[in-house]
């Protein structure tokens, strides 16, 4: 199952604090084109088939079709010099 680094956990909690519901989270789904990877979106609740991952209050919803490719991955986040937030997937050690 996908895991989150401390940086990703903090970033997800910060982003989802802007959603006016406690059910909200960051949703990961497969992109429409395979070479595009994955798409991230803030959503107010998971879809019925989503896997729900909760880490220290951070909620991530993984679309069913993305669950297997993300099974051995770790989600990380970094803040750029310009203040922009970026997420990256790595292989879990």
* CATH number for 9: 2.60.300.12
* Number of folded domains that form the chain: 1
β pairing state of 85-91 and 73-79? antiparallel
pLDDT attached to residue 5: 97
Please give the Cα distance from 90 to 32 (Å, whole number): 21
pLDDT attached to residue 37: 82
**Phi and psi dihedrals of 91, rounded to 5?**
-85, 130
Going residue by residue through the chain (93 aa), what tens digit of pLDDT does each one get? 899 999 999 999 999 998 888 899 999 998 765 556 899 999 999 999 999 999 999 999 999 989 988 999 999 999 999 989 999 999 887
Yes or no: say if 53 and 60 are a contact pair by the CB < 8 Å rule: yes
Centre a 10 Å sphere on the Cβ of residue 28 and count the other Cβ atoms it contains.
Answer: 25
For 28, the domain range is: 3-91
Yes or no: say if 17 and 57 are a contact pair by the CB < 8 Å rule: no
pLDDT attached to residue 87: 94
**Phi and psi dihedrals of 13, rounded to 5?**
-65, -40
Local structure of 35: helix, strand or coil: helix
């Amino acid at each position: 199952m996908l895991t989150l680094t401390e940086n990703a956990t903090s970033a997800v909690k910060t982003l989802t604090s802007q959603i006016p519901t406690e059910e909200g989270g960051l949703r990961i789904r497969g992109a429409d084109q395979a070479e595009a990877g994955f798409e991230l979106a803030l959503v107010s609740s998971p879809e019925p088939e989503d896997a729900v991952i909760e880490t220290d209050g951070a909620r991530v919803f993984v679309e069913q079709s993305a669950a297997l490719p993300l099974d051995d991955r770790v989600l990380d986040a970094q803040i750029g010099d310009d203040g922009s937030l970026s997420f990256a997937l790595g292989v879990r050690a």
